[in-house]
């Protein structure tokens, strides 16, 4: 009897020691991928690799933007969201989400670009001018470039007029002299150089490496599941990155890595960027 009891207890201990996360399904959204078809195409290989590495099942939850993603998480419809630095700050303020792992992007920094032939030689020369930025609230195309100008002594929407134009339209406006500069990230400089081969562009100011995209978890996700996800990225990151970057749309992550040592304080610099444009509570996205 004692032997049987001991064997039974040992078997139960093995069951208890098995990964609690096994058989769990996690609901996963990406704020800058619109619709299920695009989500499956761009993240399908990553999903397969992650499921194989973690033992978890991933269920895609399509969203049409950052606001919808926040609302979905608040309604307990989604567990994990991949989003940008500016969006993370708002998620954190609204829902007290947990940072899980960053998706590091090489050469992820902001710039302000002018035509090479422009008489503008420093950020101070942009005073009184129109400057175009990318999507309102974008870390690298709006908040980051504004931060560079703020550090150069220019107050947002006081010392210059911010406008928000499609990137190619902005370049055309720059060529015509309708605007004086454009806020861009490093990748977009390559894009406009290729799109406008007859033009030469000059980086007037460039910033430091920005905080990275981040996978965050709802406060309602069980700690052992969060731990299992973080551990998978820490131990199987190379395989996950290879799967992720096998899709052309994810080329921005080529040469990157996953950083599971992320903390909320890593995004304080983004909070300061929000303050530059007059947002101090962080509970709303810029432009809302």
Question: What CATH number has the domain bearing residue 237?
Answer: 3.40.190.10
For 164: left if phi > 0, alpha if psi spans -120 to 50, otherwise beta; the answer is beta
Q: Are residues 202 and 215 in the same domain?
A: no
Q: Are residues 169 and 234 in the same domain?
A: no
Total structural domains in the chain?
A: 2
Confidence of residue 3 (pLDDT cuts 50, 70, 90): very low
- Taking residues 214-222, what's their average pLDDT? 97
Are 245 and 272 in contact by the 8 Å Cβ rule? The answer is: no
Are 219 and 97 in contact by the 8 Å Cβ rule? The answer is: yes
Q: Are residues 122 and 199 in the same domain?
A: yes
What pLDDT is stored for residue 14 in this prediction?
38
What pLDDT is stored for residue 23 in this prediction?
55
Residue 107 CA to residue 224 CA, distance in Å, equals 33
- Taking residues 26-33, what's their average pLDDT? 96
- Taking residues 131-144, what's their average pLDDT? 95
What pLDDT is stored for residue 251 in this prediction?
94
Residue 90 CA to residue 106 CA, distance in Å, equals 24
| Single residue among 206, 233, 268 that ends a domain in this structure | 206
Lowest mean pLDDT among 8-22, 107-121, 176-190, 193-207: 8-22
Residue 189 CA to residue 12 CA, distance in Å, equals 59
What whole-number percentage of the chain has pLDDT above 90? 88
In a domain? residue 282? no
pLDDT in tens, 228-240: 999 999 999 999 9
pLDDT in tens, 53-110: 999 999 999 998 999 999 999 999 999 999 999 999 999 999 999 999 999 999 999 9
Angle, helices 144-151/268-276, rounded to nearest 10 degrees: 70
DSSP state of 122: S
CA end-to-end span of the chain: 69
Confidence of residue 16 (pLDDT cuts 50, 70, 90): very low
What pLDDT is stored for residue 287 in this prediction?
79
**Order of all β-strands in the sheet with 57-60:** 57-60, 25-30, 80-83, 213-217, 98-104, 257-259
Residue 169 CA to residue 165 CA, distance in Å, equals 6
Residue 217 phi, psi dihedral angles, 5° rounding:
-120, 145
Residue 164 structure tokens: 């928000």
Q: Tokens 């920094």 — which residue?
A: 109
Q: Tokens 């992650």 — which residue?
A: 50
Q: Are residues 19 and 102 in the same domain?
A: yes
pLDDT in tens, 141-189: 999 999 999 999 999 999 999 999 999 999 999 999 999 999 999 989 9
In a domain? residue 251? yes
Lowest mean pLDDT among 18-22, 275-279, 280-284: 18-22
In a domain? residue 288? no
In a domain? residue 283? no
DSSP state of 284: S
In a domain? residue 30? yes
Q: Are residues 93 and 218 in the same domain?
A: yes
Q: Are residues 81 and 38 in the same domain?
A: yes
Q: Are residues 50 and 67 in the same domain?
A: yes
Query: What is the value of pTM for the model shown?
Result: 0.88
Q: Are residues 83 and 198 in the same domain?
A: no
In a domain? residue 120? yes
In a domain? residue 286? no
Q: Are residues 42 and 115 in the same domain?
A: no
Confidence of residue 6 (pLDDT cuts 50, 70, 90): very low
Q: Are residues 121 and 179 in the same domain?
A: yes
Q: Are residues 150 and 90 in the same domain?
A: no
Of residues 48, 103, 125, the one with CA closest to residue 213? 103
| Domain of 120, in residue numbers | 110-206
DSSP state of 55: S
């Amino acid at each position: 009897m004692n032997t049987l009891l001991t064997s039974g207890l040992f078997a139960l201990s093995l069951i208890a020691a098995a990964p609690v996360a096994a058989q769990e399904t996690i609901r996963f959204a990406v704020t800058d991928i619109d619709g299920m078809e695009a989500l499956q195409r761009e993240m399908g290989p990553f999903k397969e690799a992650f499921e194989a590495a973690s033992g978890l099942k991933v269920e895609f939850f399509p969203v049409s933007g950052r606001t919808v993603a926040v609302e979905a998480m608040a309604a307990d419809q989604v567990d994990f969201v991949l989003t940008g630095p500016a969006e993370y700050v708002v998620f954190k303020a609204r829902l007290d989400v947990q940072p899980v792992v960053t998706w590091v992007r090489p050469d992820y920094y902001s710039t302000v670009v002018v035509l090479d032939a422009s008489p503008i030689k420093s950020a101070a020369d942009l005073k009184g001018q129109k400057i175009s930025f990318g999507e309102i609230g974008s870390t690298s195309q709006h908040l980051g470039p504004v931060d560079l100008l703020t550090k150069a002594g220019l107050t947002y929407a006081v010392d210059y007029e911010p406008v928000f134009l499609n990137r190619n339209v902005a370049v055309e406006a720059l060529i015509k002299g309708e605007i004086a500069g454009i806020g861009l990230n490093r990748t977009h400089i390559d894009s406009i150089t290729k799109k406008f081969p007859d033009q030469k562009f000059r980086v007037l100011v460039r910033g430091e490496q920005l905080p990275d995209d981040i996978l965050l978890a709802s406060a309602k996700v069980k700690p052992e599941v969060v731990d299992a996800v973080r551990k998978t990225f820490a131990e199987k990151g190379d395989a996950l990155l290879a799967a992720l970057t096998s899709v052309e749309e994810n080329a921005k992550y080529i040469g990157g890595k996953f950083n599971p040592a992320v903390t909320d304080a890593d995004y304080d610099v983004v909070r300061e960027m929000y303050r530059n444009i007059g947002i101090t509570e962080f509970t709303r996205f810029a432009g809302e």
